[in-house]
Amino acid sequence: MIENGDVSVNGQLVTTLPAWVDPEEDRIVVAGKVIAQPDRKLYIMLNKPPRTLSTAKDEPGADRRTVTELVDHPAAPRLFPVGRLDYDTVGLILLTNDGELANRLTHPRYGVPKTYRVVVKGSLDEEAIKELERGIYLAQRKAGHTQGAVRTAHVEIALVAREREKTTVELTLREGRNRQVRRMLAAVGYPVKKLERVGMGPVKLKGLARGQWRELTRDEIRGLKRAAADQRRSDKPKKETGSSGTSRRRRASAQRERKSPYISPEITGPSGPIRNRTMKNAINKATKPAPDREGSPKKRRDSAE
């Protein structure tokens, strides 16, 4: 099509190959039709204020504020929040148009950590901290019905400040159940007074007042992608090492492959085909000392000579 004169770039006809373009910057027209430019991937951090929905749109007639309404960006209509924060929970929430990365950051398979700063009522004791770290059984709901209780995964807890009437801690979770932090602390007898998300993976909430937003830096974007990718590799199931028939056959096959010697290709010499030799025999023959005149191998010279 280029050689036939059907393609123009930035108003100039292109007829020779190769033809280099930047699809995000150049205006490309093929057979009279403009090729749509791909959407630039955007990654935005918002310091979510209270009484704000973590959705792109509210239910019809509810008329509540959403996180996308706070982002004054030309691409805001195409952005969606990465995960959710409760209506009254504040802090870090990411918005993007990168569906693949958003899935990795929120899916429990990838285990990207989320860090929360929590103020609870009362002086949180060591026994409650250990219980939270071990895991709390919380009711599991599906399709609006309770289906037993499931223990929470390991939680990392760092004590920030402990007073008589309140305690401040930082909790790092690698899963995201509905209202999980509030439910866990309520289960050990310490209701939450204030909850703020302060980190997602390597990205930390810094330098933003409530309701403010900014685009992530290149280093922050790379860090998020590495966090999701690294966790995905570590979550891959290990190969079976049990005594099943399939496992035994795989181990036996691998063992045969390790023991099988390298066979040199058959070569034709002046007197006909030369016998194939294993690499081991070839090395032995090449390094074997040549016999002396009496037919006995030459003795190795002493290093002092």
Q: How many CB atoms lie within 10 A of CB 153?
A: 13
Least Cα distance to 225 among 112, 61, 72 occurs for: 112
Structure tokens given for 203:
């990205």
What are the DSSP calls for 170-211, one per residue?
EEEES---TTHHHHHHHHTT--EEEEEEEEETTEE--S--TT
In the annotation, is 230 catalytic? no
DSSP state of 86: -
Least Cα distance to 89 among 69, 113, 71, 114 occurs for: 114
For residue 203, CA distances in Å to 27, 216, 223, 261 come to 35, 9, 8, 51
DSSP state of 35: P
Q: Which of 6, 58, 86, 235 is catalytic?
A: 86
The residues pairing with 200 across neighbouring beta strands, listed in sequence order, are 114, 203
Structure tokens given for 199:
């980190």
Distance CA 114, CA 91 (A): 11
Instruction: Report, as residue numbers or ranges, the catalytic residues.
Output: 86
